[in-house]
Structure 1
């Protein structure tokens, strides 16, 4: 897990391992938060690891995003199964592959078919959910924590 402390963050953010079993994960998060009290968010390696942090927070009597925001990576189903649901980064690997192949072949990505150009703009995104943001009201999107 990588963490950020907001303004004035160190160049290399502090990190920790969210191990198994469950009690070890809670211990790791507790130790990490004690050593890095200004950290406001963590970014997990993937959506399989991030729920361990959410579970550890719950076991410690803490909650995301109020005590610590958590974001995953891969936009897998696992992130949507918990409460709060996991905010996650998604990447469209097929589009990256297509554009990289054009580059390797010496083809200009800007001259790709219109669909490929549209896919290029949508190849990375965030699926916002409760682990990092508070809903404003149903259907209104999400607002950053203040």
Structure 2
């Protein structure tokens, strides 16, 4: 599941990199692709894809790609709760954050400050099967990019 703000800036050549970054974080391969974040119809389509999915090894594993440079607003947290409700209590969920897209890198690392902001909110959800990560590793040891 890719937030529309991230999906809108991706070029076709970015898709293989996105899939490789996800595979290196989780070991999962992409089985289906959906966007979310631009209204209830888009959200319902994304949730239906999950609900109607034919999972090879249930429970499902869901990767959510989000622009982490934007604060974790209620709408985004509500979507994660809706995903949890549809996927079931034991589905593995990975929330992978990207930084503010740039012309030369549309999937950049996230600043440490922004990651910490998201981490606080995700911790408050107390979901043992929801993992928060940076999609792309920082280019320097612990420094903000």
TM-score for the superposition, normalised by structure 2 = 0.41
Q: Which has the higher helix share?
A: 2
Higher relative contact order by CA 8 Å / sep ≥ 6: 1 or 2? 2
Larger Rg over CA atoms:
1
